[in-house]
């Protein structure tokens, strides 16, 4: 197949309304169309979805998109349908009748993208069905779910490669992730047997995001003041526990801020409708555990606030990445106290020794990050193996240098505890 640059650009304009590809999008799309495997590493908000959505539209047949979350599939399917492209999903939320309808549409050839959860992919009846369908290629979104070193490990992801091979070993594969750590990258490539894939890696620097650490003292007052001085702006507040999510969401509510909770303990129906209320701008603030946000595309999130310290810098970076997907400024505030680190460390006490050690290392990296007076962006990027020559000029340490080096003692405490 030879599809010209003009045709791709035309499709980009016609379906998505964009006049230009971002970064390496076009080369990535071409790689799939030409039948090669791709491994795409780009930060959150860079525009990875388009790298499989567009080839799916121009290639004959149905593209399979493996995706870890029902909410994420729904978000993308709704978007594609709104663009006039037939996209469907297969997951546990569908009734038998709905499953049959989706399958019939795929066999008829009208579906361009079929989103599937790895659990559903595993079922023999679905395998039989996919073997009969005309599949164009396979996209594995959020591919870091395959790695135990990542922050969202899904055991089912480990079986993906074998399943794809039993559908058709010659199908081009494109794996995508915003994971920035080299260790997870290697793990993904090895497990998916993608050593031969063309690797597309862009910088993980999110220039439009402002990073700031604040003391947790008077956090509720600080939080309310911040949100009230940004009325009409969308934001996410990440809390560690479900209980805290409920408390904070209530606190904001009584202070006249439109906020809703999101965590895995809520009824799936309520979770879905809260997410939708946030996406549709009926509420401004989503108070959530980290169960919220992976792959969800809300372009105009203006702030991401961490009410509690996260377990790792990797997770922190993914969560903050949900701000400013539209390229406009986003503010990322982490409320930090060493007590949170000790709490997190306690959660790990029943884990196996090696796991516990790993968790401690991740925590001590967090402690350093929170305490050092060095440019935050420099620290974050160097954690992900990227060297920045100059200070960024757009973080608290660059703009309001006050912090001093005091992490050493806290780190030794974490490691001993």
Q: Could you list the residues that contact Mg ion (CB under 5 A)?
A: 48, 295
- Select the binding partner of residue 325 from Mg ion, ligand ADP, none (C-beta < 5 to 8 A, by kind): ligand ADP
Query: What minimum distance in Å lies between the beta carbon of 412 and ligand ADP?
Result: 37
- Of 3, 18, 105, 203, the residue at the interface with ligand ADP (CB under 6 A) is 18
Ranges of beta strands (E only) in 171-321 are: 173-177, 198-201, 209-215, 234-238, 259-262, 285-288, 301-306
What is the DSSP code string of 19-37?
A: SS--TTHHHHHHHHHTT--
How many binding residues for ligand ADP (CB under 6 A)? 17
- Select the binding partner of residue 377 from Mg ion, ligand ADP, none (C-beta < 5 to 8 A, by kind): none
Candidates 16-24, 243-251, 269-277, 372-380 — which segment interacts with ligand ADP by CB under 6 A? 16-24
Q: Which of 65, 66, 89 is nearest to 77 (CA)?
A: 89
> Which structure tokens are listed for 324?
């400013």
Nearer of residues 42 and 305 to ligand ADP, judged by Cβ: 42
Sequence length of the chain is: 417
Query: What minimum distance in Å lies between the beta carbon of 240 and ligand ADP?
Result: 24
Q: CA 344 to CA 99: how far, in whole Å? A: 42
The reply on whether position 204 binds ligand ADP by CB under 6 A is no
Query: Helices marked H in 4-95 — which ranges?
Result: 5-11, 25-33, 50-58, 70-82
C-alpha count within 13 angstroms, C-beta hemisphere, residue 382: 15
Query: What minimum distance in Å lies between the beta carbon of 328 and ligand ADP?
Result: 11
Query: What minimum distance in Å lies between the beta carbon of 273 and ligand ADP?
Result: 21
Q: CA 250 to CA 258: how far, in whole Å? A: 10
Greatest CA separation found in the chain? 65
- Give the angle 27-32-36 at the CA atoms, nearest 5°: 105
- Select the binding partner of residue 50 from Mg ion, ligand ADP, none (C-beta < 5 to 8 A, by kind): ligand ADP
Query: What minimum distance in Å lies between the beta carbon of 46 and ligand ADP?
Result: 4
Query: What minimum distance in Å lies between the beta carbon of 237 and ligand ADP?
Result: 20
Q: CA 335 to CA 316: how far, in whole Å? A: 12
What residues from 42 to 61 belong to the interface with ligand ADP (CB under 6 A)?
42, 44-50
The reply on whether position 248 binds ligand ADP by CB under 6 A is no
Query: What minimum distance in Å lies between the beta carbon of 172 and Mg ion?
Result: 19
| Residue 397 three-state SS | helix
- Select the binding partner of residue 21 from Mg ion, ligand ADP, none (C-beta < 5 to 8 A, by kind): ligand ADP
Q: Let me know: does 179 contact 142? Beta carbons within 8 Å.
A: no
The reply on whether position 21 binds ligand ADP by CB under 6 A is yes
Q: CA 194 to CA 188: how far, in whole Å? A: 8
Q: CA 185 to CA 41: how far, in whole Å? A: 8
Query: What minimum distance in Å lies between the beta carbon of 49 and Mg ion?
Result: 5
Enclosing H/E stretch for 382 = helix 376-383
Candidates 13-21, 83-91, 167-175, 211-219 — which segment interacts with ligand ADP by CB under 6 A? 13-21
The reply on whether position 297 binds ligand ADP by CB under 6 A is yes
Tell me the residue number closest to ligand ADP, measured at CB: 47
Site string for ligand ADP, 318-357 (x = CB under 6 A): -------x--------------------------------
The reply on whether position 370 binds ligand ADP by CB under 6 A is no
- For residue 33, which phi and psi values (nearest 5 degrees)? -60, -35
Query: What minimum distance in Å lies between the beta carbon of 44 and ligand ADP?
Result: 4
The reply on whether position 73 binds ligand ADP by CB under 6 A is no
- Select the binding partner of residue 269 from ligand ADP, Mg ion, none (C-beta < 5 to 8 A, by kind): none
What is the DSSP code string of 226-263?
A: HHHTTTT-EEEEE-SSHHHHHHHHHHHHHTT--EEEE-
| Residue 8 three-state SS | helix
Nearer of residues 261 and 321 to ligand ADP, judged by Cβ: 321
Query: What minimum distance in Å lies between the beta carbon of 400 and ligand ADP?
Result: 30
Q: Which residue's structure tokens are 């003391």?
A: 215
- CA torsion sign for 51, 53, 54, 59 is positive
Note the residues at the interface with ligand ADP (CB under 6 A). Answer: 18, 20-22, 25, 42, 44-50, 178, 297, 299, 325
């Amino acid at each position: 197949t030879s599809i010209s640059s003009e045709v791709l650009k035309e499709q980009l304009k016609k379906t998505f309304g964009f006049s230009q590809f971002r970064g390496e999008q076009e080369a990535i799309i071409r790689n799939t169309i030409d039948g090669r495997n791709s491994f795409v590493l780009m930060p959150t908000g860079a525009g990875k979805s388009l790298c499989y959505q567009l080839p799916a539209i121009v290639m004959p047949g149905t593209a399979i998109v493996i995706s870890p979350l029902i909410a994420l599939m729904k978000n993308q399917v709704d978007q594609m349908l709104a663009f006039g492209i037939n996209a469907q999903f297969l997951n546990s939320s569908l009734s038998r009748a709905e499953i049959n309808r989706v399958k019939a549409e795929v066999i008829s050839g009208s579906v361009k993208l079929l989103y599937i959860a790895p659990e559903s992919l595993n079922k023999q009846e679905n395998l039989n069905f996919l073997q009969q369908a005309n599949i164009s290629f396979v996209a594995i979104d959020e591919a870091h779910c395959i790695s135990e070193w990542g922050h969202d490990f899904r055991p089912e992801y480990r079986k993906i490669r074998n399943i794809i091979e039993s559908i058709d070993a010659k199908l081009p594969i494109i794996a995508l992730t915003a994971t920035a750590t080299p260790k997870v990258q290697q793990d993904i490539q090895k497990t998916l047997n993608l050593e031969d894939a063309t690797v597309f890696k862009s910088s993980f620097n999110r220039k439009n995001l402002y990073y700031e650490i604040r003391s947790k003292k008077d956090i509720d007052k600080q939080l309310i003041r911040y949100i009230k001085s940004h009325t009409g702006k969308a934001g996410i507040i990440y809390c560690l526990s479900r209980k805290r999510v409920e408390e904070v969401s209530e606190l904001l509510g009584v202070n006249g801020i439109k906020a809703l909770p999101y965590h895995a303990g809520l009824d799936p129906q309520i979770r879905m409708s809260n997410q939708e209320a946030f996406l549709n701008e009926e509420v401004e603030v989503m108070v959530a555990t980290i169960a919220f946000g992976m792959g969800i595309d809300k372009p105009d999130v203006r702030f991401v606030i961490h009410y509690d310290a996260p377990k790792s810098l990797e997770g922190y970076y993914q969560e903050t990445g949900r701000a400013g997907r539209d390229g406009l400024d986003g503010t990322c505030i982490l409320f930090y106290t060493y007590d949170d680190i000790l709490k997190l460390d306690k959660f790990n006490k029943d884990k196996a020794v090696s796991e516990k050690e790993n968790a401690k290392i991740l925590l001590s990296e967090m402690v350093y990050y929170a305490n050092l007076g060095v440019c935050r962006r420099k620290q974050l990027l160097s954690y992900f193996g990227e060297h920045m020559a100059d200070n960024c000029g757009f973080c608290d340490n660059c703009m309001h240098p006050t912090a001093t080096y005091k992490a050493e003692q806290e780190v030794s405490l974490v490691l001993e505890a």
